[in-house]
Structure 1
């Protein structure tokens, strides 16, 4: 027995009766001949975000993908960014003409290798439900390295607010101001902005320091309990 899409194709081949897939679905439903829907089975079930008080670096990272546009090629490119919620440092990023699960895994692993010490507990990683993040490859990596991977529910970007805010800045300060002729121009602009954001852009919530400088200041404190710095109740 065919599904509704192939039934529409059969009607066209045999009777030259043209139905789009929506009308074919409605007719099959009215006749009660729809095939049962296959249930999706996820190898790695979604873990919803928890309410967390973040008190230091490398406790919670948020990750997301942003689209850019190369006018000279009439094509889009991708920017994958990972932000540390406490320090606001972009701990890792990737830019390319495609963004697959393998690129996400490679970028996350480089960020962990650069920012986490061997004895430290690995950060919780929070994403949306993009295909790269629900892939078997990314799930297998998180499971293998015992990384807690949280996925926000659909239509709740506020639960990934820090990386969403950063990407809105990237859109405003770079993509909204420049028109790129080549991929190389676009990648160079992204690289320059990442360096500016991490090392020179001051944040009022970080004692008017750039993210990297704030991170270094926090790590240099002998007794952090004597000082005040942002504590974020993040869900």
Structure 2
């Protein structure tokens, strides 16, 4: 508008005037990420290092991908929790972790015993959210991010998701219900196999 009237105002002056009059949006602050120090993990006991990741499958009826979130113990290779849906957001990740804390960490009073639990994940938005970071800190869980393009830093869960793909044979499913039933069967038989392996 001012240009049409013959005025030209430098962008720096516009910025300064907007700043003086509190018209600028506050700068976004990012959480400080704790990146993996080692490419591979060597836990000495269960519930020391956990890994989580998301795998996707195509659902033909809806014409979109469904996402599967899995959390695995790197020492025992046991799946602690999983969730499937058309979206996986930070709130759902937090809910899944609340269940893990109640089922696995509280019964053995691990948090009060000073057991240092590390959770490794990639840089997905549902894992990088401030609410998830705060949730893990509040529950004394050390969240570690893998470096970009280094799936080997999260190798156990990446390998497990490759096993799922091979076991299900087809990454395309007709409905979310069909996918969930197949995953439920797979996870239950996998967990039974892993728990029976120790006997």
Would you say same fold, with TM above 0.5?
yes
C-alpha contact (below 8 Å) 1:84/1:90 kept by paired residues = yes
In structure 2, runs of 5+ residues without a counterpart are: 1-14, 16-25
Does 1:193 pair with 2:180? no
Give the 3 Å change call, closer, same or farther, for CA 114–67 of structure 1 in structure 2: same
Does 1:49 pair with 2:43? no
Structure 1 segment 61-140 matched on structure 2, within 5 A: 61-116=50-105, 117-119=108-110, 120=113, 121=115, 123-140=117-134
Distance 2:78 2:147 in 1: 25
Distance 2:89 2:171 in 1: 26
Offset at residue 123 of structure 1 (A):
2.0
Other structure's SS at 1:177 match: coil
C-alpha contact (below 8 Å) 1:142/1:149 kept by paired residues = yes
Give the TM-score normalised by the residue count of structure 2.
0.77
Corresponding residue for residue 196 of structure 2: 213
Distance 1:164 1:212 in 2: 20
Aligned residues: CA RMSD: 2.0
Give the TM-score normalised by the residue count of structure 1.
0.66
Offset at residue 134 of structure 1 (A):
0.6
In structure 1, runs of 5+ residues without a counterpart are: 1-34, 201-210, 218-235
Other structure's SS at 2:128 match: coil
Note the alpha carbon deviations across 1:162-199, whole angstroms, 9 max, x for none. 0000011111211x336422211111111111111111
Find 2:147's aligned residue among 131, 150, 153. Answer: 153
Give the paired residue count: 168
Give the 3 Å change call, closer, same or farther, for CA 103–191 of structure 1 in structure 2: same
Other structure's SS at 2:56 match: strand
